[in-house]
Amino acid sequence: MNVKSMLEGPDHIEYVVKDVEGFVEFFKMFGFEVFRRTDHHHGSVEMKLPGNDFIFEFHAKEGSENLGIEHISFATHDIDALAAELKAKKIDLDGPKFIPPTDRVIFNCKDPNGFKFQIASTEPVAIEKYKKLRARASDTKKFFERKP
C-alpha cells in the first residue's frame, strides 16, 4: 500500500470559537444538526448536515489557541499501515492514540508550514486495539505512582 491510497477523505474540521452556542445556532441556519456534545476541550459540539458524515467540531478558545480552524482531519481505513508508511518516510507522528470523547483513533503530524495535520479512524478494530493500549498505559502509570 502507499500513502495516497489510504486516505478516504475529510473526517472533520476543528474550529476554535469565542461562543460555541452562537456557532451552533449559526450553523443550524444552514441546515446543520447537532451530532453530539462531548467533554473534549471542556465542551465541544459536533455538527453534521443530514445524510453526510463530515463533522464540524466547535470548541471554545483554550490557552494560546487562535480563533478559527485549528486543524483538518482526514479519515483512513488503516491507521496503522498509514502511520508505518509515514514513519518510514521519516515523518514524526504523535500517535496513533485513542481519544475517548470522540471515539476515534488519531495521529498528528505537521504540514510543511508547521501546522497540525491529523489522520483519524473510526474503524472498530483500531478503536478496540487502542482502547486496550490506553488502558494498559493507564495501569502502568498507576503502578509507578503508587507510594511504597
How far, in Å, CA of 5 to CA of 147, rounded? 49
**How many structural domains does the chain have?**
1
For 66, counting Cβ atoms within 10 Å of its Cβ (0-12 exposed, 13-18 middle, 19+ buried), the class is exposed
Average pLDDT over residues 28-38: 92
pLDDT tens digit sequence for 11-22: 899 999 999 999
**Residue 144 pLDDT:** 46
- Residue 94 has a CB neighbour count (10 Å cut-off) of 12
**Residue 62 pLDDT:** 85
Query: If pLDDT is split at 50, 70 and 90, which confidence band does 40 have?
Result: confident
**Residue 138 pLDDT:** 58
Average pLDDT over residues 61-74: 87
pLDDT at 44 over 70: yes
Query: If pLDDT is split at 50, 70 and 90, which confidence band does 1 have?
Result: low
Higher pLDDT, 50 or 141: 50
Which residues, including other chains, have CB under 8 Å from residue 103's CB and lie 6 or more apart? Answer: 122, 127
CA distances to 10, 12, 26, 29, 80 from 67, rounded to whole Å, are 21, 17, 16, 21, 32
**Residue 127 pLDDT:** 87
Q: State the pTM of this model.
A: 0.76
Average pLDDT over residues 54-83: 89
How far, in Å, CA of 46 to CA of 41, rounded? 12
pLDDT tens digit sequence for 112-144: 888 889 999 988 888 889 888 877 765 545 544
CATH number of the domain encompassing residue 89 = 3.10.180.10
Domain that holds residue 64: 3-145
